[in-house]
Amino acid sequence: MFKLSIVVPCYNEQEVLHETTKELTQIVNNLINEKKITATSKVVFVDDGSRDKTWSLIDEYSSENDLISGVKLSRNFGHQGALLAGVTAASKDSDAVITIDADLQDDVNAIPKMVDKFIEGSEVVYGVRNNRDTDSSFKRGTAELFYKFMGWLGVKLVPDSADFRLMSKRACEVLLSYKETNLFLRGIVPMVGFKSDKVYYARKERFAGESKYPLKKMIKFAADGITSFSIVPIKMIMGLGFFIVLISIFLLIYTIVQKINGQVVSGWPSMMISIWALGGVQLICISVIGEYVGKIFSEVKHRPRFTIERDIYTEKTLKENKR
């Protein structure tokens, strides 16, 4: 038997919390009855600075049910920060940690399968969605493009796996030793190593409420993933530079030949086009470098990735360990 914690990041999730609690406690209870996990196993809701009743609900459910606990962050730190906070709190005292979204899009029935793979010796078990029917075609298309691009950049990702996965205590510890401020979990977890496995599941519609990942956040997330893992974009600038120099040499020769032939090159259009084209290219290149400089800027400050305001998980485990 081992102690399992299920970490659930929540941002304004009051509409789904009741149902999520019900389904997760049922799953945990079944596993306890099957004598696979200990009775001290926990669901850990992480309130990521919600502005609705999310925390008061978590607090209420925690006082009613021994299996439920929560961690409250001091403000909104974003999905990745919330996940990290939950894993940090839970991994101290659990043998395995599962992370799952609050909105029941990830199939809770995959949890027992993950547990079985863990018992068989896998330290990281990815939840992989075998369909994306419930996502809009736009989200599906952009996601596919993103995974392709990352693959092309040489970043190893497990395609169609989100932040639904199981990690052993040891894998969590390795994960937490990556101190990057802009942590892109999906990219880091495959770098942890150890024996890994996959569990397939069908991704469902959000149970209630709306997505907390609007387009703007999605773009930032993707850009973060790319610039945290690869400097290929900077190298591409060099290639582009050589290409443009080549064109300019060609134009120079062309102009000289025209001059020798006595044809005066009319200057205005060609000059304007090259000024604007080159100006644009240079600005794009500077902005790519700027992305990386910005990344360095935010990394060197070593700001905390999350701040915990209250930790009911640790409160409960301390009490239980004393008994």
* Site residues for ligand UDP per CB under 6 A: 9-11, 13, 48, 76, 78-79, 82, 101-103, 105, 211-213
Beta strands in the chain (DSSP E): 4-10, 42-47, 68-73, 96-99, 124-129, 161-168, 196-201, 308-311
Q: In the complex, what is the shortest distance from the CB of residue 76 to ligand UDP, in angstroms, rounded to a whole number?
A: 5
Quick one: 20 or 105, whose CB is closer to Mg ion?
A: 105
Q: In the complex, what is the shortest distance from the CB of residue 70 to ligand UDP, in angstroms, rounded to a whole number?
A: 13
CB 36 within 8 A of CB 115: yes
b/e burial code for range 256-274 (CB count within 10 A of at least 16 → b): eeeeeeeeeeeeeeeeeee
CB 34 within 8 A of CB 116: no
134 binds, among Mg ion, ligand UDP, none (CB under 5 to 8 A by kind): none
In the complex, which residues of this chain contact Mg ion (CB under 5 A)? 101, 103, 105
Nearest to 94, CA basis, from 10, 191, 168: 168
212 binds, among ligand UDP, Mg ion, none (CB under 5 to 8 A by kind): ligand UDP
Quick one: 27 or 95, whose CB is closer to ligand UDP?
A: 27
**Residue 123, burial from CB neighbour count under 10 angstroms (0-12, 13-18, 19+):** buried
76 binds, among Mg ion, ligand UDP, none (CB under 5 to 8 A by kind): ligand UDP
152 binds, among ligand UDP, Mg ion, none (CB under 5 to 8 A by kind): none
Quick one: 105 or 228, whose CB is closer to ligand UDP?
A: 105
Q: In the complex, what is the shortest distance from the CB of residue 223 to ligand UDP, in angstroms, rounded to a whole number?
A: 16
Quick one: 213 or 276, whose CB is closer to Mg ion?
A: 213
274 binds, among Mg ion, ligand UDP, none (CB under 5 to 8 A by kind): none
Q: In the complex, what is the shortest distance from the CB of residue 85 to ligand UDP, in angstroms, rounded to a whole number?
A: 9
Quick one: 4 or 10, whose CB is closer to ligand UDP?
A: 10
CB 58 within 8 A of CB 21: no
Quick one: 95 or 101, whose CB is closer to Mg ion?
A: 101
Nearest to 42, CA basis, from 252, 322, 311: 311
- Cα–chain center distance at 99: 11
102 binds, among ligand UDP, Mg ion, none (CB under 5 to 8 A by kind): ligand UDP
- What SS3 state is found at 159? coil
Q: In the complex, what is the shortest distance from the CB of residue 11 to Mg ion, in angstroms, rounded to a whole number?
A: 11
Q: In the complex, what is the shortest distance from the CB of residue 138 to Mg ion, in angstroms, rounded to a whole number?
A: 15
Dihedral angle sign, alpha carbons of residues 247, 251, 252, 257: positive
Q: In the complex, what is the shortest distance from the CB of residue 291 to ligand UDP, in angstroms, rounded to a whole number?
A: 22
Q: In the complex, what is the shortest distance from the CB of residue 168 to ligand UDP, in angstroms, rounded to a whole number?
A: 23
CB 2 within 8 A of CB 95: yes
What are the φ/ψ torsions at residue 276 (nearest 5 degrees)? -70, -45
b/e burial code for range 211-224 (CB count within 10 A of at least 16 → b): ebeeeeebeebbeb
For every residue of 54-78, DSSP letters joined together read: HHHHHHHHHHH-TTEEEEEESS---
Quick one: 76 or 182, whose CB is closer to ligand UDP?
A: 76
38 binds, among Mg ion, ligand UDP, none (CB under 5 to 8 A by kind): none
Quick one: 123 or 311, whose CB is closer to ligand UDP?
A: 311
47 binds, among ligand UDP, Mg ion, none (CB under 5 to 8 A by kind): none
